[in-house]
Structure 1
């Protein structure tokens, strides 16, 4: 039982962890959204190794169009805003059932992306000799796992 006049440390530490998760998760989503907008506008920096390819080939499995890349950017921004709202950091918007479930659903989506399709992406991929596979192992899948954890913590 907390002493009168002193904050409950368990609640304070839990709230701090949640705020860190909200700010970190939202910030990463905003950064990823900006990168996708840059690519949608024709930017080339960081485009090598971001698309899966078949083993022994150099052409990506698909060629994203600028409009599709811009849609991904908008989705990333929207998720970031939802996370901020759930964290109570947007004036006029607070945590609610929609933002809570949204954080949980997107945490699950990032977790599924980290696990992968068992062929080209994720921790359990079979194709491992491409540049994308190396980048996926070193950066993309760990980032997706981190995002899953951050969004889950933000949902609490």
Structure 2
């Protein structure tokens, strides 16, 4: 069971890292509806720069590698106290993202009429909750 959680979580995180690399390189596919907007507006609340998007990709990739290490799937680097705590901290971070800011994102958002909010309800928040569960399972 834990091995499935590790492989599934790591695979999803790696895929997300690759998508962020694509966006950082200027790719446009899938970019609509990934940033929160105010109700009645079309411009995102913020405009991420390539460096910031690359940083997100690196962080997601690092979490993926750390998860593999926690699962004992990284040669020469096995599970230990550090990887266990990192999994727990990352699980908490993804759980907080799933809960949201109570305005624009998460399960308890108030702004619900934008493309982002629809995608957040259907995909982003459930995915964050799934990653939180998988990372927590791996930390045990």
Range class of TM-score, shorter chain: over 0.9
Are 1:106 and 2:90 an aligned pair?
A: yes
Match of 1:26 in 2: 10
* Partner deviation per Cα, 1:54-76 (whole Å, 9 max, x = no partner): 00000000000001000100000
* TM norm structure 1: 0.89
Question: Which among 135, 138, 151 is matched to residue 122 of structure 2?
Answer: 138
* TM norm structure 2: 0.99
Question: Which among 50, 73, 77 is matched to residue 61 of structure 2?
Answer: 77
Q: Which stretches of structure 1, 4 residues or longer, exceed 4 Å deviation after superposition? A: none
Higher Cα radius of gyration: 1
Question: Which among 113, 120, 125 is matched to residue 109 of structure 2?
Answer: 125
- Partners of 1:97 and 1:153 in 2: how far apart? 15
- Partners of 2:49 and 2:92 in 1: how far apart? 26
